[in-house]
Structure 1
Amino acid sequence: MTNNKDKKVLNVPNLRFPEFTGEWKKERLDEIAELSKGIGISKEQLSSNGNPCILYGELYTKYKSEIISEVISKTNIEKNKLKHSKQNDVIIPCSGETAVDIAVARCVPFDNVLLGGDLNIIRLHKYDGAFMAYQLNSKRKIEIAKLAQGVSVVHLYGENLKSINTYNPSLQEQQKIVRLLSLLDERIATQNKIIEDLKKLKSAICEKLFSSPKDKQPQIRLYGFFGDWHFVRLSDICHRICRKNTGEQCKQVLTIAAQYGLVSQEEFFNKNVASENLSGYYLLQKGDFAYNKSYSGDYVWGTVKRLDNYEQGVLSPLYICFRPDPARVDSDFLIYYFESKKWHKTVANIAGEGARNHGLLNISVVDYFNTIHCIPSMDEQKQIAQIIGTLLSKIAREQRMLNCYAAQRQYLLRQMFI
């Protein structure tokens, strides 16, 4: 790579393949492409077979990289009056929730894909569509976002896109840039798949290595351990925390995020939504647990998390807080147990039918601590926790690698385009 960052040369990127020289051309989008619009296809008109098609909303949900490698949706509606793609087309949504969201460009490397309504179609005369998609998604993204109109729903019209200035090298240089970035995108996709599979493996292991009260022992038993697990009430193995934030000694307000655990409310929401008076909040120390009775689609019986990221923090009294007794239960075993679904039935039994109020499960503290759970000996607990902990460490390493690839991608997009 040639680094042009410190050179006084106009219209060349900071980072460039050494075999290419000369300035890039500044060209309006309507000078290098024909702009048009797709023709309506609704979600209800999708089918399991038929002609491949793309709906505008799929650019947000299904097609995450600049080059569409496979068209997922199909439709059986009459295709003669619809808009057909031409290999190398670039598509951008006409509608979206925010101006930044709408500035999403994808290259369609296939002929005869049906392009639905609310899609802007950019048909380039001679340039590489994938290169243009990368450019529009990076250096031109803010410019495109500024053209969007509307409040609750924003719109982006082809007439507005015509005025966008693009910077373009020779076709050969475009294609070499695309080869590099697409290889990196493929590696990122592979890395995402590795992490996804590891998370599925972890979930499956949790379901196999833990036991619900009705089963008495798990489906898979570690070598060297025999006999039924024993039943305990939550109050037998954990102590309730009622410690209040007297004198407001702690200002770190916590919230439970299902994916991230107990996190800073200010960091998670970018603001504090807690009461101004924190003296009535529970004061948690590192290693304490909290049960959030709030339910959602993925967490129908609420969620339990442990305070791992801070030495202490305060939590709303709406949560049920407790600390494991280290003589009775291993803390890591317990948090992994609560990440399984094996405790759901025992909570469902005390919640009762229709016991939901304003997004919260109607569960009393007394009933919650009387829930029955099934646990093994301390030695078996520790071995189970070690297995799951090792897998989580592997997931964390793979995630760090993914973050490095993503950072490398962002660097190249900033440096290889004007």
Structure 2
Amino acid sequence: MVAESLMDGIVVKHWGGVEKKKYSLTELGEAFSVMNLSKEDLTEDGKRCIIYGELFTTYDAIIDNVVSHTDKVDRLTLSEDNDLLFPASTTVDAYSLIAPSAITERGIVLGGDMFGIHISQEHSAEYISLIINAIYRNKLSKYAKGSTIIHLHYGDIKNVEVELPDLKTQLYLVGVVKRLRTKFSIETDYLVKLNKAKQSLLSALFI
């Protein structure tokens, strides 16, 4: 949580200090729907895939390690190299529904209750995901509908405007965030190993 808050702060500060231009979401790329895919379709091996629920539980703004697989082979929806994925429903609240993730690897199977945008090469899907998560969640959450189950449809948000800098500036921030993510991951792994070593040492002392 601390790491996420720090990175959100960096995104907000950088975004606020650069020249930007307004774009509607429909100007950023081509929307697409995905195939049906659920937890029951996951397998130990097969094609790598991302299912709807993982946008909440497994991935954050940038997907850099796809963990699931499926053996489905018919009518697959495959990612392109600059995609932005939105969950389309939740039972929590409208704010938590605005949790897009960017995938920049081709050929990943996509499925479940989500929709995507193939972002044009003039922009970075990873950057757009970062600023939506850090800056535009409140704005976009107003377009979610429902009570028990809250839905978000591309058609409802396609004309919403976001402000973006040029591609070079977008990629600079993405690079900074990725380096920070790597640093936090290494340090977290190190702390886990230290705690395990500490527990082992304490166990040995009190045997």
TM-score, scaled to structure 2? 0.84
* Correspondence 1:192 to 2:188: yes
Aligned to 2:6: none
Equivalent residue for 2:147, pick from 132, 148, 151: 151
Counterpart of 1:114, as a letter, is V
Q: For the Cα contact (< 8 Å) 1:147–1:161, is it kept in 2?
A: yes
Which runs of no fewer than 5 residues in structure 2 stay unpaired? 1-13
Aligned to 2:83: 89
Q: For the Cα contact (< 8 Å) 1:37–1:117, is it kept in 2?
A: no
Secondary structure of 2:159 counterpart = coil
Cα deviations by residue, 1:324-362 (Å, 9 ceiling, x for unpaired): xxxxxxxxxxxxxxxxxxxxxxxxxxxxxxxxxxxxxxx
Aligned to 1:14: 16
Measured in 1, the distance between the counterparts of 2:86 and 2:109 equals 14
Measured in 1, the distance between the counterparts of 2:188 and 2:142 equals 31
Which runs of no fewer than 5 residues in structure 1 stay unpaired? 1-11, 17-22, 211-217, 219-418
TM-aligned CA distance change 1:49 to 1:162, over 3 Å: same
Give the helix-richer structure, 1 or 2. Answer: 2
* Correspondence 1:113 to 2:115: no
Equivalent residue for 1:30, pick from 14, 26, 30: 26
Measured in 1, the distance between the counterparts of 2:77 and 2:175 equals 29
Aligned to 1:51: 47
Q: How high is the sequence identity, in percent, across the aligned residues?
A: 28
After superposition, residues 304-323 of structure 1 pair within 5 angstroms as none
Q: Which has the higher contact order (CA 8 A, sep 6+)?
A: 2
TM-score, scaled to structure 1? 0.43
Q: For the Cα contact (< 8 Å) 1:68–1:108, is it kept in 2?
A: yes
Secondary structure of 1:83 counterpart = coil
Aligned to 2:165: 169
Deviation at 1:42, TM superposition (A): 1.2
* Correspondence 1:122 to 2:117: yes
Equivalent residue for 2:175, pick from 179, 191, 203: 179
TM-aligned CA distance change 1:139 to 1:49, over 3 Å: same
Deviation at 1:206, TM superposition (A): 4.3
Deviation at 1:40, TM superposition (A): 1.0
Secondary structure of 1:74 counterpart = strand
Measured in 2, the distance between the counterparts of 1:149 and 1:205 equals 54
After TM superposition, the runs of 4+ consecutive aligned structure 1 residues lying more than 6 A away are: none
Q: CA RMSD in A?
A: 1.9
After superposition, residues 199-348 of structure 1 pair within 5 angstroms as 199-210=195-206, 218=207
Secondary structure of 2:142 counterpart = helix
Q: For the Cα contact (< 8 Å) 1:37–1:158, is it kept in 2?
A: no
Measured in 1, the distance between the counterparts of 2:144 and 2:188 equals 31
* Correspondence 1:102 to 2:102: no
Cα deviations by residue, 1:40-82 (Å, 9 ceiling, x for unpaired): 1111111111111101111222213x22111110000124x12
Measured in 2, the distance between the counterparts of 1:144 and 1:77 equals 33
Measured in 2, the distance between the counterparts of 1:179 and 1:70 equals 16
* Correspondence 1:142 to 2:138: yes
Deviation at 1:119, TM superposition (A): 1.4
